[in-house]
Structure formats: C-alpha cells, structure tokens
C-alpha cells in the first residue's frame, strides 16, 4: 500500500511538512547593497552577529551592510620570497663566500657538468 501512496510524486523534491504549530526562532532582516546598486535582504537570528559584508546574490561582488559600520581592514602580511627566507638564515657576506667557493669548484673542473654522476649508461 505504501508504494501506491507515493506513486506519481518525486521523493525528496517536495516536502509535505507544514509550519503550523511551530514557533520559529526570532529573526531580524538585514539589508545589504553592492557597488553595482543591487540591494537585497538576508534574514538572521536575533542572537547572531551580523557580518559587515555579504556576497551579492545578483553579481557575486562584496556587498556592504546598509546603515552599518565599515568593515575593519585586515592586516595583510607581505609575501615572503625565497630571497627573504635566505636572508633570514645567512648574511650577505656568507652568501658571497659560498658563491666564491662554488665558482672555484666549477672553474677547477671538480664537477663535470657534461655527464650526470648517476648516469650509468655506457657511451657507444
């Protein structure tokens, strides 16, 4: 019998529950506006902390809270490059010394760059 009762409906597509007899949590509606002039409302719980920015429903840009405080600018750390990290470990004088040592090894022929040391193939 239960199979016949659901015949012709798409399961999960339609809810048959009603809101009758249910007390919803208290809500407040907050309005946002983006730079493109789109305005929209978002419902929040009365107890919720209202975010100063929200993604615009129409264009996806950042929308600001109307009649609200400006969002605080987050401190952004500058990007650390490989050179910055190297300079944290060594001084310029140490780097020049290491460079001079490596150049001396290359110039003396101590390293053969033509053949890789792991290359085990025999030349024919």
Binding residues: 34, 38, 56, 59
Q: Which residue has the tokens 């999960």?
A: 12
Residues making up the annotated binding site for Zn(2+) are: 34, 38, 56, 59
Helix (H, G, I), strand (E, B) or coil at 73: coil
Q: Which residue has the tokens 């983006």?
A: 34
Helix (H, G, I), strand (E, B) or coil at 87: helix
**What span, in angstroms and rounded, lies between the C-alpha atoms of 54 and 45?**
16
Supply the DSSP symbol for 51.
P
**What span, in angstroms and rounded, lies between the C-alpha atoms of 90 and 83?**
10
Q: Which two tokens stand for residue 63?
A: 């929308």
- Name the maximum alpha-carbon separation found in the chain: 93
């Amino acid at each position: 019998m239960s199979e016949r009762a659901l015949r012709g409906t798409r399961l999960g597509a339609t809810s048959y529950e009603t809101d009758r007899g249910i007390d919803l949590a208290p809500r407040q509606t907050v309005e946002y506006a983006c730079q493109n002039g789109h305005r929209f409302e978002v419902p929040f719980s009365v107890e919720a902390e209202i975010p100063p920015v929200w993604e615009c429903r129409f264009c996806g840009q950042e929308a600001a809270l109307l009649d609200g405080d400006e969002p605080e600018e987050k401190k952004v750390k500058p990007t650390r490059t490989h050179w910055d990290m190297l300079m944290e470990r060594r001084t310029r004088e140490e780097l020049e010394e290491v460079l001079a040592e490596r150049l001396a090894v290359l110039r003396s022929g101590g390293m053969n760059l033509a053949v890789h040391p792991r290359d085990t193939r025999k030349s024919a």
